[in-house]
């Protein structure tokens, strides 16, 4: 049970040390390769434990039992040379079937059945409506329309077995240039035929290049173009294009701007100290089998003791002070493992200037380890070394060369 609890406390450690901003996607994290190495190392250590070996043994035993029970099924083989209809290369041709709720329901149900049969022969036909049934304000009518035409047997009612596995796409671009429904259209839009004739017949007419002709009854669209609806809604909300651009620009700034610009003052002198971090459990940690309390609520511990291989080296700056931003850029150029967290400023612009993703430093600033910025917080064993850089070091740019103390 002790390894399980230790892993739980390791998770608490990451919660304590985390403070990254949502403004930067995880794919841009420069420490991703280092994190993978740590994860691989932890996995190897886990594989050496008795719990892992026991779990693998049980899994192999269960797999052996399952194979024995299904031995006859496993002996069956697919005939050589035949490809599964689900394979990527099986589909030979793709088409769009432009439909609307104005087309009779029975006609659409027949089309859905034909689409399912043609798919097994390597012909993929995607049913498309150009907009939402009843308008884009409500999605329910569109869902009800799909369920109504996807039923195999209307007398049975709605159930998973009674629905054909054919999805409908709302795609105004695919329906562009089509003046009536139903219409069968090649994917590249080079040929379109109209009419409520059977799909194999319409496919034959496309192969014969009878493009633009009608072979049966046609109907007008009942749905509006979805893109036109969206455009009208945007114009109603923002009749002035300049106001619309200003609104979205403001929302972008609100999302990327880092909080806490006034939390910490600029450092007046260089100071160094050692901090032993502590975390207090907000709840009881119990044994899942017996219910016994292993760690009571209010228990205090140093999370670094439970994560000996997790590095932590962060430079906290104020993103609105140009001297600190320039200092961070110099520090980053000298230390490839350094992570930069900021109070205030635009995360995207700061990342471009510093040359590395910049995250929010509000959580770190509120822990009280740093009294001013710029502040370097670096792990050393089971303690944290905290150094605040004064004006002389910021100007001189020799912070990375001397971070062990002053």
- Structural domains counted in the chain: 2
User: Contact at 8 Å (CB) between 94 and 187?
Assistant: yes
Residue pLDDT, tens place only, 343-378:
999 998 999 999 889 999 999 999 999 999 999 999
Residue 401: its pLDDT value, please? 42
Position 280 in a domain: yes
User: Is the domain of 339 the same as that of 272?
Assistant: yes
User: Is the domain of 271 the same as that of 374?
Assistant: yes
Task: Answer whether residue 18 shows pLDDT above 80.
Answer: no
The CA distance from 394 to 329, in Å, is 11
Provide mean pLDDT across the span 184-202.
94
- The CATH number given to whatever domain includes residue 165 is 3.40.30
Residue 64: its pLDDT value, please? 58
Position 144 in a domain: yes
Name the more confident of 72 and 278: 278
Position 150 in a domain: yes
Q: What is the pLDDT confidence band of residue 271, given thresholds at 50, 70 and 90?
A: very high
Residue-range definition of the domain harbouring residue 384: 259-406
Interior angle at CA 354, CA 405 and CA 402, nearest 5: 15
Residue 19: strand, helix, or coil: coil
Q: What is the pLDDT confidence band of residue 98, given thresholds at 50, 70 and 90?
A: very high
Residue pLDDT, tens place only, 212-225:
999 999 999 999 99
Provide mean pLDDT across the span 317-325.
94
Interior angle at CA 104, CA 99 and CA 105, nearest 5: 90
Residues in the chain: 406
User: Contact at 8 Å (CB) between 187 and 95?
Assistant: yes
User: Is the domain of 280 the same as that of 385?
Assistant: yes
Q: What percent of the chain has pLDDT over 90?
A: 44
User: Is the domain of 297 the same as that of 402?
Assistant: yes
Position 176 in a domain: yes
User: Is the domain of 224 the same as that of 329?
Assistant: no
User: Is the domain of 318 the same as that of 360?
Assistant: yes
Q: Which of 14-18, 93-97, 164-168, 368-372 has the lowest mean pLDDT?
A: 14-18
What is the largest distance, in Å, between two alpha-carbon atoms of the chain? Answer: 89
Q: How far apart are the first and last CA of the chain?
A: 44
Position 54 in a domain: no
Question: Residue 354 CB: number of other CB atoms within 10 A?
Answer: 24
User: Is the domain of 151 the same as that of 270?
Assistant: no
Which two tokens mark 85? 């209809």
Q: What is the pLDDT confidence band of residue 256, given thresholds at 50, 70 and 90?
A: confident
0.75 surpassed by pTM: no
Position 310 in a domain: yes
Position 250 in a domain: no
Residue 300: strand, helix, or coil: strand
Q: Give the chain's mean pLDDT.
A: 81
């Amino acid at each position: 049970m002790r390894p399980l609890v230790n892993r739980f406390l390791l998770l608490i450690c990451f919660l304590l040390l985390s403070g990254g901003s949502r403004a930067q996607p995880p794919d841009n994290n420069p420490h991703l390769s280092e994190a993978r190495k740590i994860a691989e190392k932890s996995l190897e250590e886990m594989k050496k434990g008795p719990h892992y070996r026991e779990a693998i043994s049980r899994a192999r035993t269960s797999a052996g039992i399952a194979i024995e029970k299904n031995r006859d099924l496993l002996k069956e083989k697919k005939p050589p040379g035949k490809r599964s209809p689900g394979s990527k290369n099986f589909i030979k041709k793709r088409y769009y079937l432009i439909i609307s709720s104005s087309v009779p329901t029975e006609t659409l149900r027949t089309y859905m059945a034909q689409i399912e049969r043609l798919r097994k022969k390597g012909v993929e036909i995607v049913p498309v409506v150009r907009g939402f049934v009843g308008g884009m304000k409500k999605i329910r009518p569109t869902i009800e329309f799909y369920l109504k035409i996807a039923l195999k047997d209307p007398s049975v009612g709605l159930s998973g077995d009674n629905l054909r596995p054919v999805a409908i796409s709302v795609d105004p671009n695919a329906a562009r240039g089509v003046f009536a429904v139903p219409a069968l259209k090649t994917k590249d839009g080079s040929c379109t035929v109209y009419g409520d004739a059977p799909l194999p017949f319409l496919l034959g007419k496309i192969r014969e290049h009878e493009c633009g002709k009608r072979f049966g009854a046609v109907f007008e669209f009942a749905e509006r173009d979805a893109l036109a609806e969206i455009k009208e809604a945007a114009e109603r909300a923002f009749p002035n294009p300049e106001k619309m651009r200003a609104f979205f620009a403001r929302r972008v700034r609100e999302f990327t701007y880092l909080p806490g610009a006034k939390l910490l003052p600029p450092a007046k002198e260089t100071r160094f100290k050692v901090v032993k971090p502590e975390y207090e459990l907000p709840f009881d940690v119990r044994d899942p089998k017996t219910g016994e309390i292993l760690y009571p609520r209010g228990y205090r511990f140093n999370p670094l003791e439970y994560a000996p291989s997790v590095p932590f080296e962060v430079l906290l700056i104020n993103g609105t002070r140009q001297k600190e931003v320039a200092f961070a850029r110099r520090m980053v150029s000298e230390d490839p493992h350094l992570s930069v967290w900021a109070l205030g400023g635009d995360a995207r612009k700061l990342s471009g200037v510093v040359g590395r993703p910049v995250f929010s430093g509000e959580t770190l600033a509120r822990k009280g380890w740093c009294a001013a910025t710029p502040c370097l917080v670096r792990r050393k064993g089971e303690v944290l070394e905290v150094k605040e850089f004064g004006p002389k070091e910021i100007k001189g740019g020799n912070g990375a060369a001397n971070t062990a103390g002053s």
